[in-house]
Amino acid sequence: MQTLPRWAGAIALSAGFPAATWLVGGMVGLITGLVIVVLWWGMAPRLWVIWALSVVLLAIAPITVVLQGLPQTSVVGSGFGAEHLLAHRVVSVSLELAAFAGLVELAGLQSVSRSRTRRAWRTLSGEPRDLLTRGGDAPR
Amino acid sequence: MWIVLTFGLLALPFLSLPGRYVFDTRDSLWLNPTGYLARALVLWRGSPYLGHQQHDGILFPMGVAVWMLRSIGLSAWVAERLWHGFLLLTTAGSTILLVDALRGRRAVAGPVTAGLLYSLTPYTFGYGLQFTAVFLPYALLPLLLLVTLRGIERKGFVWPALFGLTTFAMGGGNGAPQAYGLAAAAGLWAWIALIDRRVSLRSAARFAGWSLLFVVGLNLYWLFLLGSSEVSNALAFSEQPYGINISSSASETIRGLGFWQFYGGDRFGPWIPSVRTYVTSIPLLMAGFAVPLGALLSAWLVRWKHRLFFLLLLVVSVFVGVGIFQPSDPTPFGRALLFLYGHVPGTAGLRTTYKAVMVVNLCVAVLAGIGIAALWDRLAAKKAPRLVRTAALLGVVLVVGANAYPLWAGRLYNPAHGLRQVPGYWREALNELDLRDTDYRAFFAPATSWATYRWGAIKEGITATDPGLASISPIRLPIGERFGSNLVAAVEQPYLAGRSATGSAQLFRYLGVRDVVLQNDIDWVRANTAGPSQLKRLLGDHNLVPAGTFGTAKGNVQVLSVRDPIPMVRAESPDPVILSGDGFGMADAAREGLLQGGPPVLYSGTLTSSELQTLIRDSNPRFLITDSNRRVVWYFTGPRAPHSYTLPAGQSISGRDPGYLLFDDRPETQSVAVYPGARAITASGYGSVFRLSPQYRPANAFDGDPATWWVAGIGGDPTGAWIQAVFPKPLPMSSVTISSPNVPWLNRVERIRLEFSDGTSLASQLNQLGPTTIRFRERVTATLRVRIVSTGFSPTPRASGAAIGEIQVPGLRAAEIIQVPNDLMEAARQTDRGLALLAGQPIRYLFERARIDAPGLVDEETGISRRFQVPDSTAYILSGTVHIGPNASDDQIDELTMGRTATRVTSSSRYLGNPRLRGSSAFDRNPRTSWVPAGGKGQWVRIEFPSRSISRIVLRSSVGPKFSAALGVHATFSDGSVVHGNAARVRQGVIDMRFTPRVTSSVTVTIDRVYSLLDPRKPISIKEIEIPEVAPLKMDDAAVLPCSMSSSLTLDGAPLAIQPAGTVGHFLGGSNLPLQRCGAAPVSLKSGWHHLLARGGLQPDTISLATPGWRPPKRPDVLPSVSFSTTPTGGFDVAVRGATDPYYLVMGQNMDRGWRATINGRDLGPPILLDGYSAGWRIDRPGSYSVAVRYGPQRIYSFALILTGATLLVAVIVLIVSGYKGRSRGSRSKPWRPLGPTLRHPTPPQRP
């Protein structure tokens, strides 16, 4: 992937990621994928934010399972999965976020969205150029 | 560390159910390893399923390991615990090695944590240790990745050989876990070669190529078996994607759950009790999520070389594990999987996506383990306080311990699945059966899915302890080409479905059975099968005689012997019975005595037109066309396999394969449903949500009979359920009449919506007291869908479900007809003189009503409605058995018992439906008979007669403690006038109505007032209604039933004059009576299609139409003598003596196209299907000679075994040579090259 220019990787990720999340999550997955990509381009969050969000979502998954009710009968029942759809969605989104963060790292795109966003912001607000020189933001 | 780990993991399984062996993969391997291994090299297995091509693939390492453990004298349970401990150790150990390799240095905390996290999971305890053959790939997956990691950058054959040997050690089986393991290894290969680019693509490709060669070579012996019919049967009939992924949500899959059986159970509790707690306990739930959470944190915070690979592999494998969840609304990926399963051969084998959890668990364990190691290093580097380190350690121990709870709590196994030892009486019984002639078989009744005896449970049944015994141990999942399974299911009908046992001995003879072993010690409630009292029904066939008992005096085991048994391998008469249908038709024929003398049976579905012509030319066949081989969807979930209703040709339910897939699923070989006015009648569901109920099928709502219903949502909510008729062409419609039955156990349908094909709809309230006619603006529609919008009050609180009795559309007649197979006609029609040839042959049509012969249950069919084809204009003799119809009206009964009379009596109801209590019993001048309605006020009886003047009606009712008394009635006359009457004295029970004479043709007496001393529910009994001017009916129980032109039996719409053979008393008593035409006159039928309908007053069980003189073929006086011996490779050497005429050689082994027979090297051609299951040949050669019968695929199997052995030898030599070279090179060998870690690596992987 390193042989491609970064912008090509970024576009491929932006197009491919929602397609992949649609594949595994249907309409909910598509919306999730699109939101992640749009936010990535629009708000240019630091990568650790995406990682943290993924971890937080996975952490609340057991809580959603408990909140949706644990079976009290001797046999759990085949409806358990369907009765805990929220947990399924939460875990799915968590994994999608983690995968997105991983792919961004893999393709070395940590700074692409940030630089584009800042350039756009600068154009709009007239900020001086030297404020926009920070690079990647992987946690240390 | 290793010593503690080894000791702990080997010892801990002994804490669970000490002294009891529990099911693991194959009972026969554990209980008789020598016997099992002796058969492992032979492809064809003659017992216990009538013969099939085995595809176990567990010869190595499991088979050899178990045999070795048992050979040193260990009991089954000790050997099993050691094996399970060894597998846990292997799983943990190989993970430790992988993590060490990934980190580039050896440590304790991280790798051991990873090892334990991967080894001790719900997947291991709930699934892995039940099927350790399938668990082996799980155990060795880390090793496979380790070999990939190392081997990809090395030259030579050592690492490819090691790769191949690792897959070889994974064993065989169904192949899915191996595929998932190989996919993970391929992913790692691609990561290193294409992303990491640590090695050149060429070198990586070389490693992959040689590895693939070793994999194929070493596993050929079981890969070859994946093409067997057993695999395709398992794909078609065992767990299906909709069930597999019923609970495999992402939140369950990521913590190692999601396997459908984890969530299921029966009335005795969960199927896998050890796993239930993972789902219901909050601490275990938290511990379960803590592991993937730690893995994600690790993937985020700890930088090392391959972390993104494991992260992305984790994400992908979770979504693969999720599969088509949720099945009712799959994701695009789920839909793609369903498409692949259905369209790309082989992919359906991967539908058990829960096996991808092995990859999920490994990724999670590796990431978490490396995270723990990093944390440990960080704490050590920062010199964290001991308390912090202790807390961290405690946290890890708690999570690992919680996930491993069944192991240390002694709850690894389901206590219902174990056994301590086989009782002595069973050993005696088996020894005795072993000593008897091996030319015959023993049939172990009844079928089970999991043989649960009162002393323990063996999944495969008691025959697993004696694999060498020639036996049949019925299971419902179809075997081989499925003919044998179909026949055995039909054989078991007497005790599983309550059918008559007559003819059972004949069917056992065909199966080569001499002893029928009744397993009375089965816990039949738990095993969900027939109990001892039901098994005893077999004694109803006098050709099955008690031969001995074992165990208690009553017989824990009872053996019945078949009179005049026939050996498995035998010669049969050259004149066959050619049967259209399947094994159920064969059982019907045996019950009717049509297979007496044991003629060979050929299925017409297997015959080509030329074969049919040859048969007619060279022999004297009898043709038998049955209404069996129905197009139904079977669910082989238990001994009493439930099935759907009969479907129209080409249709299915939920995309499942219909029937037993006999005769390539050709519609002309099947009995299919036909709806004359509709192309299809379907529904959102029918019957109970828990079980299939074909008696409540959608077609019932369009059959014109309000007594049969479409029922939806029993045990659930019927709101929203719909029923739909699809018309062959758009139909103008302006009204629909709908009725909903009024029964206490169902909710009344309150509101419905009619939906039309043009998208319009309209809602309507239903009348609660009778049919509702909904009128609307005329529209033309191609479909009519009736949806239940709401249900109303039900008198019983437990009522569930709702029913529609009838949907009437003017001009639409769509009553279901079962069209019987017409393959015989189709085959005959393909040749010039085919039909003419067939027309001259003896042909019999045999129709059986689909029914449940158990009290209190509703039959699938209330009558017989059949469409059948006749080759030429011929006379047929009608016969059959009939009894009084449960819904017969009073006048229908009167017509059948007295013939047509001038006076006709009908009534509003009969008490308990009893035909003796019908209205005419009050109009026969017999005070001992009476009309007893099913209710009080409002009940009526109507007497119709030729018009005349009457002036008095006297009504006499029974009085006393058993009855309520009618105190007041009114009589309505045909002119509409009404007369009221009251009882003068309650004790006398007489109401005398005198009135002005009037001319009338009917009198309807309606009860107005009722008196009851204690209980108002007591019935009213009207002994006599006297109308002096009208002659009463003459009723006599001893009278012979008259000849009647009843509408109960029609042919092509015209009533037939029939006469059941019996007295009125027998008929009213419900006896089954032989049916015949009045004066035994034949029925003339022209060539073409005909429709026979029998229902109403007479309920038929069987109806037959046969050309005069149809009898089963005579057994020839002289048949060649046949003796046989088996060969070590599963074949037979058959010695034939004294053949004079052509004969059929029957092998008594399931039909399989792989069978070949030769006489002195001359091939007899492909085998034919004989006697409903067996491979066989027609042989014309006279004299004495030997027939060599061999199973063809055995050659390929032997070749595959040799090739696997040769590849194994090569791999071992490669390792030895490399080891020798390594030693001789000494320090020149490549030093250990760390693969990592690059902790806190701030940048993404870089190109070399």
The complex's ipTM works out to 0.87
H or E segment to which residue B1094 belongs: strand B1088-1094
How far apart CA B286 and CA B211 sit, in angstroms, is: 41
Q: What is the pLDDT of residue B354?
A: 94
What pLDDT was estimated at residue B438?
80
* Higher-pLDDT residue of A43, B295: B295
Read off the amino acid at residue B229: S
**Residue that wins the pLDDT comparison between B313 and B1231:** B313
Note whether A75 contacts B254, CB cutoff 8 Å: no
> Which secondary structure element, helix H or strand E, spans residue B1186, and what is its range?
strand B1183-1191
CA–CA gap between residue B394 and residue B377 (Å, rounded): 16
How much is the pLDDT for B319?
Answer: 97
The string of DSSP letters for B296-321 reads HHHHHH---TTHHHHHHHHHHHHHHH
In contact, B326 and A81? CB cutoff 8 Å = yes
- Among A52, A84, A102, whose Cβ lies nearest the Cβ of B311? A102
Q: Which range has the top average pLDDT, B237-246, B957-966, B1126-1135?
A: B1126-1135
- Given a cut of 90, whether residue B1067 has pLDDT beyond it is yes
Stretch among B86-95, B237-246, B355-364 having the lowest mean pLDDT: B237-246
- Is the pLDDT reported for residue B1244 higher than 50? no
Structural tokens at position B147: 């070999």
Q: Which residues of B touch A75 (CB under 8 A)?
A: 263-266, 269-270, 276
Chain B contact for A84 (CB, 8 A cutoff): yes
Put simply, the answer to whether B251 touches A87 (Cβ < 8 Å) is yes
Mutate: best of A32, A105, A111, partner B, most B CBs <10 A: A105
pLDDT at B964: 87
B165: Cβ contacts below 8 Å, ≥ 6 apart: B214, B218, B1208, B1211, B1215
Whether B363 contacts B311, CB under 8 Å: yes
- pLDDT band for A135, please (50, 70, 90 cuts): very low
Whole-angstrom distance, CA of residue B427 vs CA of residue B1141: 45
Q: According to the model, what pLDDT value does residue B853 have?
A: 67
Which residues of B are less than 8 Å from A23 in CB distance?
331-333, 336
B799-840: pLDDT as tens digits: 788 999 999 999 888 999 999 999 999 999 888 888 888 888
Within 8 A of B288 by CB-CB distance, chain A residues are 62
pLDDT tens per residue across span B410-426: 999 998 888 999 999 99
Enumerate the H helices of B1030-1101 as residue ranges. 1064-1068
Question: What pLDDT, in 10s, does the model give residues B1181-1202?
Answer: 999 999 999 999 999 999 999 9
Residue B164 makes CB contacts below 8 A (sequence gap 6+) with B211, B213, B214, B215, B217, B218, B1207, B1211
Average pLDDT for B767-771:
83
By CA distance, what is A107's nearest residue in B?
A: B1244
Per-residue confidence band for A116, with pLDDT thresholds at 50, 70 and 90: low
CB B864 within 8 A of CB B849: yes
Residue B910 amino acid letter: R
The CA distance from B792 to B767, in Å, is: 11
Closest chain A residue to B308, measured at CA: A102
CB burial of B1107-1121 (b: ≥16 within 10 Å; e: otherwise) equals: beebebbeeeeebbe
Report chain A residues whose CB lies below 8 A from the CB of B336.
23
CB atoms within 10 A of CB B336: 13
Name the nearest CA neighbour of B359 among B325, B315, B395, B396: B315
pLDDT band at A139 (very low <50, low <70, confident <90, very high): very low
Task: Quote the distance between the C-alpha of residue B1128 and its chain's center.
Answer: 34
**Contact (Cβ atoms closer than 8 angstroms) between residue B1235 and residue B152:** no
Q: CB distance A23–B336 less than 8 Å?
A: yes
Does the CB of A106 have a partner CB in chain B at under 8 Å? yes
The amino acid that residue B1212 corresponds to is V
B535-563 mean pLDDT = 93
Predicted confidence band of residue B1225 (pLDDT cuts 50, 70, 90): low
pLDDT at B173 over 90: no
Quickly state the pLDDT bin for B727 (edges 50, 70, 90): very high
What pLDDT score was predicted for residue A124? Answer: 55
Mode of pairing for the β-strands spanning B864-870 and B817-819: parallel
Query: Which neighbouring-strand residues pair with B410?
Result: none
- A70-84 pLDDT per residue, tens: 998 888 988 899 999
Residue B183: pLDDT over 70: yes
Which residue of chain B has the CA closest to A136?
B1243
- pLDDT above 70: residue B19: yes
Q: Please, what sign has the CA dihedral across residues A43, A45, A51, A57?
A: negative
Per DSSP, the residues of B391-429 read HHHHHHHHHHHHHTHHHHTT-SS-GGGEES---HHHHHH
Give the A window 45-64 contacts with B, CB below 8 Å: 48, 51-52, 54-55, 58-59, 61-62, 64
Residue B477 falls in which region: left (phi positive, over 0), alpha (psi -120 to 50) or beta? beta
What phi and psi, each to the nearest 5 degrees, are found at residue A19? -65, -40
Would the pLDDT of A10 be above 80? yes
Question: What pLDDT score was predicted for residue B255?
Answer: 95
Q: Which helix (H) or strand (E) holds B1187?
A: strand B1183-1191
Q: Supply the Cα-derived Rg of chain B in whole angstroms.
A: 37
Q: What is the pLDDT of residues B639-663, one digit of tens each?
A: 888 899 999 999 988 778 888 989 9
Return the bridge partners of B1133, or none: B1125, B1188
In angstroms, the first-to-last Cα distance of chain A is 24
Is B1246's pLDDT higher than 90?
no
Tokens encoding B130: 């039940």
pTM score of the predicted model: 0.89
Listed range (A127-136, B278-287, B553-562) with the worst mean pLDDT: A127-136
Q: Is A137 on the interface with B (CB under 8 A)?
A: no
Tell which residue, B802, B809, B772, has the closest CA to residue B787.
B802
Q: What percent of chain B has pLDDT over 90?
A: 73
Q: Do A85 and B326 touch (CB under 8 A)?
A: yes
Q: How confident is the model at residue B730 (pLDDT cuts 50, 70, 90)?
A: very high
In chain B, the residue whose alpha carbon lies closest to the alpha carbon of A86 is: B251
B603/B577 Cα distance (integer angstroms): 8
Interchain CB distance below 8 Å, A24 and B319: yes
Listed range (A38-47, B482-491, B706-715, B791-800) with the worst mean pLDDT: B791-800
- Band the pLDDT of A130: cuts 50, 70, 90: very low
Pairs across A and B, CB distance < 8 A: 159
DSSP letters for B840-902: TS-EEEEEE-----STTPPPS-SSEEEEEEESSSEEEEEEEEEEE-TT--HHHHHHHHH-S-S
Q: What average pLDDT does this structure show over B33-42?
A: 91
Report whether pLDDT(B1092) > 90.
Answer: yes
Strand partners for B803: B711
Alpha carbon separation from B1134 to B311, B441, B1121 (Å, rounded)? 62, 18, 10
What is d(CA B809, CA B757) in angstroms, rounded to the nearest whole number? 15
Alpha carbon of residue B739 to chain centroid: 34
Please judge whether B333 and A24 are an interchain contact, meaning their C-beta atoms are less than 8 angstroms apart. Answer: yes
Q: What residues of B are in contact with residue A61 (Cβ under 8 Å)? A: 251, 289
pLDDT at B1224 over 70: no
Q: Which residues of B touch A16 (CB under 8 A)?
A: none
CB B545 within 8 A of CB B561: yes
What pLDDT is attached to residue B577? 97
Residue B1220 has pLDDT above 70, yes or no: yes
State the DSSP code for B747.
Answer: B
Residue pLDDT, tens place only, B1120-1161: 999 999 999 889 999 999 999 999 999 999 999 999 999 999
Contact between B285 and A65 using a beta-carbon 8 Å cutoff: yes
- DSSP type of residue B1042: P
HEC profile for chain A?
A: CCCCCHHHHHHHHHHHHHHHHHHHHHHHHHHHHHHHHHHHHHCCCCHHHHHHHHHHHHHHHHHHHHHCCCCCCCCCCCCHHHHCHHHHHHHHHHHHHHHHHHHHHHCCCCCHHHHHHHHHHHHHHCCCHHHHCCCCCCCC
With cut-offs at 50, 70 and 90, classify the pLDDT of residue B855. low
At B229, give phi and psi (nearest 5°).
Answer: -65, -25
Residue A122 has what pLDDT?
63
| Residue-wise pLDDT tens digits, A83-113 | 999 999 999 999 999 999 999 999 888 777 6
A65 interfacial to chain B (CB closer than 8 Å) = yes
Residues B936 and B940: their CA atoms lie apart, in Å, by 9
Token duo for residue B270: 């969960």
User: Is residue B1227 very low, low, confident or very high in pLDDT (cuts 50, 70, 90)?
Assistant: very low
**A134 — pLDDT class (breaks 50, 70, 90):** very low
B332 vs A22: CB contact, 8 Å cut-off? yes
